[in-house]
Structure 1
Amino acid sequence: MRIVPLGGLGEIGRNMTVFELNGKLLIVDCGVLFPEEEQPGVDLILPDFSYIEDRLDDVVGLVLTHGHEDHIGAVPYLLRRKADIPLIGSKLTLALIEAKLQEHRITPYTLTVREGDAEQLGPFECEFIAVNHSIPDALAVFIRSEAGSVMHTGDFKMDQLPLDGRITDLRHFARVGEEGVDLYLVDSTNAHVPGFTTPEQEIGPVIDQVISKVQRRVIVASFSSHIHRVQQVLHAAAANDRKVAFVGRSMVRNMSIAKQLGYLDVPDNILIDLKQVDQYPDHKVVLMSTGSQGEPMAALSRMANGDHRVQVGQGDTVILASSLIPGNENGVYRVINGLMSLGADVVHKDNAKVHVSGHASAGELLYTYNILKPANVMPVHGEHRHLIANGKLAEQSGVPRENVLLCEDGSVVDLRDGLARTVGQIEAGYVYVDGSSVGEITDSELKDRRTLGEEGFISVITVVNRQTGKIISGPDIHARGVAEEDDVFKKIKPKIAEALTEAIESNKEHTTHQLQQIVRRTLGSWVSRKLRRKPMIVPVVVET
């Protein structure tokens, strides 16, 4: 069996793993990564589908472990290429992806499974195991095949007092452990955190206590798929005689699905539409919003910038009921600062216990190693520091060091005769979604965007006579974002003209491109030396 991770190793997001046997492909998860500041203008980052693009007819199924964006967000972009790839997942997971696909006008072929079910997908038999996570209905998958067996946890933790009563099924883990696990793909997100993850049950009383003390509006920001957290907010609001309005399109959509399927228990007469909020006194309202990660276009960021219909003011309280995804720190703290400058109190995980992680800490991971006793381990889902920490836990539990595979996106792993080994590497780069374009933006173009944003832009237009070598017009220099008046360039204009004239007189064969490069070098070195800037320079030389 060949295993190729196309995302999720070395990053938090883009989770996607391809399993290959006898010419058939099984995919587990297909998620997105959210852009960071050095990727301006990018909406989403997808896995690179190039490895499987010519073999989509060989895909026997796409197993979705749970409904978070970093595991299902890229499904529409894969199904654009082949709409009838079977999607296999739990009831809630499939409901969330079906709603997303509806926006893309794709009707998927789906197969609903639940814990304990087993399905034959080509040469792979997939058995599904209940795991606890920060979204209901999460599943691990145990893959049997003639080449060996693989256990993939998806995202999980071992909350022993879960809000929905659905624990990670360690008895089921033990049964597959007795059968034998040749390769263990295990969530690494909290592998560097000692001990055990705090139970979700401890968060509800804290949220209730915060809401009970606030005299004005309360705004709670969380992931739009964190049904457990929304449930706690609904109970706290009801206990304090407040109405709740959902803010953000994805929040409204996901909670509507959760309520309809019975995963969200909504007290009678508690929900109101956002348009009705102004009809109630401030101390009677809780707003449940998106934007906990500082996303620029999300509701909470727009509130912090003052351009949302919900105006945050003095005495309002904002609760950030979510963890900080690595890479989002600057965006989140920018939102916090914006909200506090408007007079709001901001409660977050640094000053109150308003969120717990959805991922297993080191103590829980050790339990799974000891229960499963895997022959080989491949840590997944995490940055390199998380993968390394998880690998060390595997070694401590008795897995031989040579059988712990610390891989990266695009690593090619072969499982043969009970041994898993890295045998190669394929290209598995970032694919950027920018508006309606997918994969058309390159790293070079992102570098240009960063230069424009950080250093500014200068255009230089010059008209020359090729025959005489004389400059007829220009050079005309126009600058934007260089923080200097245009007349600052008076000193360099004669030098540009001199360099051009000299180049033409010395060699009549100079091409237009070569003349433009002379302008770029002359101006660029002067700007770097005099203004201490490295702007984007666009030289235009027109010949007559």
Structure 2
Amino acid sequence: MSHPHPELSAPPPLPTSGMRIVALGGLGEVGRNMTVLEHEGRLLVVDCGVLFPDDHQPGVDLILPDFDYISDRLDDIEAVVLTHGHEDHIGALPYLLRLRGDIPLLGSHLTLALVEAKLKEHRIKPVVTYVTEGDRRTVGGFDLEFLAVNHSIPDALAVAIRTDAGLILHTGDFKMDQLPLDGRVTDLRGFARLGEEGVDLFLTDSTNAEVPGFTMHEKDIYPALERVFEHADRRIIVACFASHVHRVQQVFDAAEEFGRKVAMVGRSMVRNMTIAEELGYLRVPQGILVDARKLADYPDDEQVLICTGSQGEPMAALSRMANRDHSIEVGAGDTVILASSLIPGNENAVFRVINGLMRLGANVVHRGNAKVHVSGHASAGELLYCYNIVRPTNVMPVHGEWRHLVANGALAQATGVAKDRVVLAENGVVVDLVDGVARIVGAVDCGYVYVDGSSVGATDEALLKDRRILRDEGFVTVIVPVDASRGKVASEPEILARGVAEEEDAFVKVRPVIVAAVEEAMGKGVMDSYQLQQVIRRAVGSYVGGKLRRRPMIIPVVIEV
């Protein structure tokens, strides 16, 4: 656990007429989106996603929201509302539903289809309610209205939440593509109607708040894809998110235009696109799609592979291809398209993959050298447009790093929202909406919960620190036999070093230092093994730090003889 703001105390009781908003993830980070709303003792959860680990969290598979705030109030949860089907909004649902399996889930058809497929792997059968834009549902004291928004996955929704405390509009992730591939535009008329009604608190996507102007249309990347397909002499490999149905659709369209066959690689890619096709969100041209194992039956210049790994994930298909650890061997003349943006923190991993592919002779096309990606988030111009339409009383930027939240708050102020009505909060900070005013009233414990193999929540910062030391500095094991009856070291200490780039004789000079330190301690009556281990750790640490300029993990072992 960690407290986000030591200067903030625990929140006071929520006034009867008020609404409480607590983000358990998604603020100050891109991912792990989860917001809890409370009114009249009942809870509504908006999204429940995961965050993917970075280099500072070795060995971690996923990072979950901290459920501790609601763990003793699970029966108070009316429902979980899902804005769309990306992992950073639905990925933590299996772990929440392990705590209470019958929490109702509300979402669009594609979103819930992706959720049900995920939960099936965890042997959880959810209670679901399908909604579409224009629908209204009442759960407990929450009156929910769903509005269409455009994003990089079909069927995304914003949600308006009406209670006696006021009207909240949560955009989810969105942009304002006026020429979307599926013809489903963001419902600005609905936003305006809610603005006329009076939006008391506007929770807005902040991811692109620093980007000026308007986000490009998704269809604008097709000419770049056409050029790549037209000039590629051999295979084309396209890496994108496993949920980006529109991007996959454009690849299928280009393959059809240029007479190529398409195979999909990666379990999540195949699963998601199969669902999208079955529900009618993906149009697969007749005879285009083939099994990946049969793609080699076609000439190289008739092959297209769509795979995962656009973020440099170590176990994803593209990373394994770059490392020559995949059945598909990338070679000279192949063209690889990274059709995605860089998620903050993934830059180094992605560049490693690009370099590995180019070393194998591939031509790599990415956002830096071609228009092969369009963001799914609203840029500053679109956010300004929304603020002017909605005219909210209070604004709370969500979904983004701190710089994104600040930039989004500044945009709100530029359109006339009072500075003291722009609430910049982080995970765990408690915001109350009372009598039309939103303000910070306290904070609750809210930390990272790590999924590490089969364990959930057992990994902590101390363990990760040890892993970072082992990874970066190596370790030194020191075995010291002692004769307690004589108060002496029985024989010369044995030193084993791993991951320390020094010759073995580098530790010769530390042996007498260890002996002297241990015998001095024993001479003072220190006979406890743990205390002697600490003496050894200090002696070796001081020597290694001063002479070798390293700080490896030191593992002392005391053997009584």
- TM bin, normalised by shorter chain, reads over 0.9
Are 1:515 and 2:561 an aligned pair? no
1:216 and 2:216 matched: no
Name the SS of the counterpart of 1:433 in structure 2. strand
SS of alignment partner, residue 277 of structure 2: helix
- In structure 2, the partner of 1:334 is 352
| Cα deviation, residue 498, structure 1 | 1.2
Matched, 1:249 2:267: yes
- Map 1:464-503; keep pairs closer than 5 Å: 464-503=482-521
8 Å contact from structure 1 (residues 115, 130) kept in 2: yes
Q: Structure 1: which amino acid aligns with 2:203?
A: L
SS in structure 2 at match of 1:53: coil
Query: What is the letter of the counterpart of residue 238 of structure 2?
Result: V
Matched, 1:314 2:325: no
In the TM superposition, residue 484 of structure 1 has moved relative to its aligned partner by 2.0
How far the C-alpha of 1:487 sits from its partner, in A, is: 2.9
Deviations 1:54-73 (A, max 9, x none): 11111000000000001001
Cα displacement (A) at 1:485: 3.0
Deviation at 1:488, TM superposition (A): 2.2
Distance 1:150 1:474 in 2: 71
Partner of 1:200: 218
2:209 touches 2:380 (CA, 8 Å); kept in 1? Answer: yes
> What secondary structure, in the 3-state scheme, does the structure 2 residue paired with 1:325 have?
coil
Counterpart for residue 557 of structure 2: 540
Question: Matched residues in 2 for 1:49 and 1:436: separation?
Answer: 18
Separation (CA, whole Å) in 1 of partners of 2:89 and 2:447: 17
CA distance in 2, matches of 1:247, 1:156: 28
Q: CA deviation at 1:536?
A: 0.3
How far apart, in 2, do the equivalents of 1:420 and 1:127 lie?
Answer: 21
Please tell me whether the aligned partners of residues 238 and 270 of structure 1 are also in contact (alpha carbons under 8 angstroms): yes
Aligned to 2:44, the other structure's residue is in SS state strand
Contact persistence 1:466–1:508 (CA under 8 A): no
CA distance in 2, matches of 1:520, 1:389: 48
Residue identity over aligned pairs, in percent, reads: 67
Contact 2:474 2:498 (C-alpha < 8 Å) held by counterparts: yes
Which of 525, 530, 535 lines up with 2:542 in the alignment? 525
Q: Give 3-state SS (helix, strand or coil) of 1:541's partner.
A: strand
Residues 1:184 and 2:197 aligned together: no
Superposed, 1:34-53 pairs within 5 Å as 34-53=52-71
Secondary structure in 2 matching 1:473: coil
Gaps of 5+ in 2: 1-18
Once residues 149 and 329 of structure 2 are traced to their aligned partners in structure 1, the CA distance between those partners, rounded to angstroms, is 40
Cα distance in 1 between the residues matched to 2:314 and 2:95 = 23
- Please list, as runs of the form range in 1=range in 2, the aligned pairs for 1:129-528 lying within 5 A after superposition: 129-505=147-523, 507-528=524-545
Structure 1 equivalent of residue 25 of structure 2:
7
1:365 Cα deviation from its structure 2 partner:
0.5
TM-score after normalising by structure 2: 0.96
Of 41, 46, 49 in structure 2, the residue corresponding to residue 31 of structure 1 is 49
Give the 3-state SS of the residue equivalent to 2:63 in structure 1. strand
Q: How many residues align?
A: 543
CA contact (8 A) 1:461 1:474 kept: no
Q: Over aligned residues, Cα RMSD in angstroms?
A: 0.8
Candidates 107, 129, 154, aligned match of 2:125: 107
Are the equivalent residues in 2 in contact too, given 1:208–1:237 (CA < 8 A)? no
Q: What is the CA–CA distance in structure 1 between the aligned matches of 2:187 and 2:485, rounded to whole Å?
A: 83
Letter in 2 for 1:296: P
The gaps in structure 1 that reach 5 residues or longer are none
SS at match of 1:542: strand
Deviation at 1:278, TM superposition (A): 1.4
Q: TM-score, normalised by structure 1?
A: 0.99
Higher relative contact order (CA 8 A, sep 6+): 2
Task: Report if aligned partners of 1:25, 1:59 keep a CA contact under 8 Å in 2.
Answer: yes
Amino acid at match of 1:516: Q
Does structure 2 retain, via aligned residues, the 8 Å contact 1:67–1:96?
yes
In the TM superposition, what is the alpha-carbon distance from 1:326 to its structure 2 partner? 0.8
What is the rounded CA distance, in whole Å, between the counterparts of 2:539 and 2:509 in structure 1? Answer: 12
Partner of 1:85: 103
Note if contact 1:198-1:356 (Cα within 8 Å) is conserved in structure 2.
yes
CA distance in 1, matches of 2:326, 2:514: 49
- Higher mean C-alpha deviation, range 263-272 or range 468-477: 468-477
Structure 1 CA distance, aligned partners of 2:98 and 2:555?
37
Distance 1:282 1:149 in 2: 57
Instruction: Output the amino acid matched with 1:541.
Output: V
Query: How far 1:510 moved relative to its partner?
Result: 4.3
Tell me, in whole angstroms, the C-alpha distance in 1 between the residues paired with 2:478 and 2:174: 57
What amino acid sits opposite 2:330 in the alignment? V
Instruction: Give the ranges of 4+ consecutive aligned residues of structure 1 lying more than 4 Å apart after TM superposition.
Output: none
Deviation, 1:205, is 1.9
